[in-house]
Structure 1
Amino acid sequence: MMTTFVLLLLGVLLMVHQNEAVFHYYIQGSVMGRNQSSDTELYQEIADILLRENTRPNGTIAQNYCAIRFNTLNFDTSSGSAIHNSLVTARANFEDKGVAVAIGPYIDVFTSTNYVIINQLHMLTSPTGEDAEKMDPDWVLSILPEQASISAAVADIVNKLGWRNVALLSQDDFSPVLKLGHYNIQVWPIRLPTTIVSDKDQELQRNLIELRKSQKRKFILHSTKMDIIQHVMLAAKRLHLLHPSIDWFITYPDFEDVIGEREDSWPGSIYGIQLLRADKIPTNISHNAVIAERNISRLELGLAVDVVGLLRHVIYTVAQNCSKEPSVDYIVSAEQFDNIIKDQQSLTTLYDGALGQYMWHLENGSSRTNYTIDIMRMNAGLETIGTCKFVKGIPTLKFTKDIVQESSTTYTFSREEVLKVVTRQYDPFVMKIAGEYVGFNIDLLNELSKKLNFKYEIFDVSGWRLDQHRTYTDGMVQELINGNASIAVGALEITAEREELISFSFTILSTRASILTKKAKSTTNFFQFLGPFSTGLWLLILGFVAVAGGTLYAMNRFDQTQRGVEQKFDLKESIWYSLNVLLQGTTEYSPQTTSMRTLIAFFWFCVLVIDAAYTANLAAYLTLQQIDDRIKTIYDLADQTDLKYGVQKGSDLEEFIRTQSVDPFERMWAFMKLREEETLVSNMTLALENIKNGKFAFIGDHSTNEYYAKQQCGIESIEQNFGQKNFGLGFPRGAPYRDDINRALLELKEQGFIDHLKEKWWAEGQNCTDDTKTRRVSDKTTAELELTNMIGVFIVLAAFVVLAVIVEITERIVFCFDARRKKKRAQKEEPEKTQIDSFEGFRPPNETNENGPK
């Protein structure tokens, strides 16, 4: 679409007619602009107010014999013929020498040649910038200070502040670059978008993101447009570039208007210049409702007031303060206006407007020479720290306050700052329960927000995204790169590849890979000492003892040489002797005959073999019991195919195993690739069920696997010696608040808060009542015997002790009954015999004498 330029010519009569017989002094001129037709109305309103209030430029009351006339002319560039017609019409209007002056912004067809503006001076109402070379200095007078002198002042100020490396943000004017270069200040120029309609402009945001990545700490924002300044500063605030570690210098001539009434809404340290004197704008204009509806900046209003004031100053000079009525209407010619403006003794030394004193350098007519700007600073309050006086365009600095800022070691965010937090759900780092985010990192984020006094808005993303280079990047990392998030919170691994894209905090948590698998059932065998021999062998040994004892008894009974011998092998003694030999015990009896000794010799030999075999087999059996053939390492997984195993789809571990070309990872990836639907897990709930059923083993981060193991029943996490990971918080490259958060993290570590969070989120679950029936790989599996290994021996010992007591009691009872029975029989036979003591039955028979019990 073609742009339409509007050429506005003075032609609107601004005067109060008392009657038709009154004559006036007139000054006529043109107001030129690019789509700025409202400028004419603004100038009209200002002139009308000043004339109606009868106020001279110096503040005294004036008569109504002076007036200003404005005409309007459209300048159309929609086509070649329209441009030609507009130029012809403009030239015809400017051929009238009664049009005293042309007023408006830079338009090259007016300022670069006298083809259109023939007789008039052009009072330029826009900055000259890089277009100054195209202007004819004999025909152009700048209302605003020349950008070259402002650039020189900015360079002087920046040099005094000690800035050696700066970034310069501007839309079209980079004139300060050369001035800064004279002081050997390195400048990184950043061209802002040509059109910026809001602080959320995508191209503007990209510019500021690149600026943040540069990690520079000194910025110069160079513009004379208030809306551009506001959009850039609001976008910088949203990206947290307004920070105590970053200094801004704003070249907009009304720094107080940039800061506004709410100084606390701009954190950080901001410098600027103050050219506008707001108190020079008459109250009846600044508070006029019609003008207020135009929603223009204070600088635009001050410039318009000064334009009208200069025109009035000229006509007041011609009409001698307009105190006398002319005999006829008097029109100030272009030649008169030119002579009066350039006569510094009569006019320019006397007029002091809202933008300072107006004096032009006559050798170069476009330059304002004498004026003063204030040097301002906003840091916990707005203050003036110095002035810059221009004499013949040369700046002279004078600082009234210390310009060295004490760097603060601590920083808390302002109450209005909000961090946009991106996260990804990953147990137990970040979880969403009943619509609320909970987890290890959420608790940490809450504590950081309290400590640093910031608010946050949280949103989550999926795992991996395809970036502009067609490669997969973590979703949280991508949001930081795109500038949509201020901080990433969650299971974010610190890697060298990501370090090139974003910045990280200090390490919060370190972990390695682990295998999540089902626990083995716990098997307790109290009679492991019986394990070396089978049941049949034990019965055979018992039979062997019985046979040996019976043989000894038979030999002793039928051996004629043993008659009358005191040591006799009855059945009880024979069995006891055989058992003693088997158990390597001792006995009072010893075989005497050759046959019995022969039998015993071979019996000893058999017992020797049995004891040696039992001892050896017992040691081997107990050793085998300690051997655990469960899956404990990735090598165990890779060496088998019965149990399926896999990783979470899209995870860092999947990428790690896929890219490895060494054993066993290469074999593992081939195995998983063949069963991709089963091994690349996307549903962790289903995977946990398969793990508990013993059908699957999951390879993941030990921190997460340990959480599942503690919360679920019957599974365990076996840590591996690979996949070392360090987790931290993520920030955009160059985020100035990273150091503040790092400092807070260190304090939380020192206070033990992070350890407390680990204990909280990796605590044992309370829902597993059968956990004692299972055993972990990490349980103690040393070669030493424990109580459970030998308790069967003590059980047998206790059983035989009880049996011996029972036998002894039974024998005593039987003996007692037998003694009573004998007593009754004796009483019948010998009634006169003394009654037997009732306790006699419990005394051993060998303790009685011939007279009865002792």
Structure 2
Amino acid sequence: MAGIELIISSICNATFCEIPYNDTYKGPDTSETKEIKFRNLMKEVNGKNLKVTTYNNTPLSWTEWHNDTVVGKGVAFIIMDILRKKFNFTYEVVEPKRNYELGGKAAEDSIIGLLNASKVDMAAAFLPTLIDYREKVSFSIYLDEGVWVMMLKRPKESAAGSGLLAPFNDVVWYLVLAAVLTFGPCITFFTRVRSKLITDDEGVLPLKPSFWFVYSAFLKQGTNLAPEANTTRVLFVTWWLFMILLSAFYTANLTAFLTLSKFTLAIEYPQDLYLNNYRWVASAGSSVEHVVKSEGEELYYLSAMIRNNRARFLSVSSDKDFLESVKKGAVLVKEQTVVDHLMYNDYNSKKDVEESDKCTYVVAPNSFMKKQRAFAFPVGSKLKNLFDPVLTQIFESGILDFLKHADLPSTKICPLDLQSKDRKLRNSDLIMTYMVMVAGSATAVAVFAAEIFIKRYVSGKINTNKESKRKKTKMSKKLTSCDDSRPPPYESLFGKNPRFNIENARTKIINGREYYVFETANGEKKLIPARAPSSFLYRSDK
């Protein structure tokens, strides 16, 4: 209960109590002279009409016309009403000619210009306490910490990538491609070195079969290669194990991405605007423009985007006018409170739209910049010493945080992850499959054209006599190096294969089955099943 009483008493001291300065809080100095000066200053302000300037920064501050009179609205003027009741003064609102914090050709164009020229008594606006601002005006105590965020149109797909490429990042894909291209030559190299050091029946495995083995294993296909040496077998098993593990990780991560993946944005930090060359907009004459254009500031590197026309500072009558630029792909840099109200109002304006389509905009997970904010006075103004004690009590009681979020729901507005339970595959998830089909078909056409060109134009230039000689030598090699370990073709019974002596063939029944017995060219005897169903198994061209 003591804590509740303390909060109530703080609000009472800041709003309704008749004596604004009491023994409980006497300001930074508790001496009697300070108290006397404070009470004298109260008497000077009592009944006085102050000139207050502000600018359009909804919902923190804005102005409206009522009966030809400018009336201030927003959180800043709720605080002004507390001060007005506290110290019994009146005020009139003086608008700058332009909605600038600092800038313009004349002093009347901006809030800082009006204060620096002493044309107004104070600024009822949440102004960032920048170093260049401090040289021109005097700030009150810190009222809050302003957070500038980046709002952009919600993309249709995550920045993690398309469906098929998402499980691995770019580095992993490059390494897998390098492995596919290099492991085939490695097999050929090791077999070549082994054939020189060890003499046995296994020779060198050429580059072309090695490459096709690696490629087929990459797609989980078999191979007709039968290595006999242990070294080659270990290389084959190594590649198979690599592909089994790689495919297992890929399948698991692809399933997780398509069902449980978190939505990510391409813009997360201010440097992403520069690296990805994104267009972005902000208010003209605002602190964002000043920070970006001021040399020595942390975000000065973004000034290069102004020269490239990728960053623009717009003068708009209402913050809603920025939404047109955001819909066209630009990123809006604005205070978080302003962005929250823009997104909430846009969400409520869509009544006949499905729930999943109401959140048109999204905010980057990290801020653009953070700055302390406060009210401002002309340099040497006595109002600072008068208002700071009450502003301190308002800040400590939490009234400001309550007022800034009074019109907003307690939940986060249009979060980055909408937590949708249904995850249906879209066409964008399968775009890589279409690209693979197109690339494969184009490659096949290119290889086909190359084969035609080589056979018709390159091979055609060879002398026909050389071709006939080469055919004869190839035929003789085939006859001497034929592999008799395999059953002969069935067509050899009818004289289509000169390797077999068909004239001496005779039939013989072995184990109840009829076979043709004949002698090969080297004198060995061969058996061929005579019955059609059995002989069909031995039909071969080799």
Which TM bucket (shorter chain)?
0.3 to 0.5
More helix by share: 2
Greater relative contact order, per chain length (Cα 8 Å cut-off, separation 6+) = 2
In terms of Rg, which structure is larger? 1
Name the TM-score, length of structure 2 as normaliser: 0.45
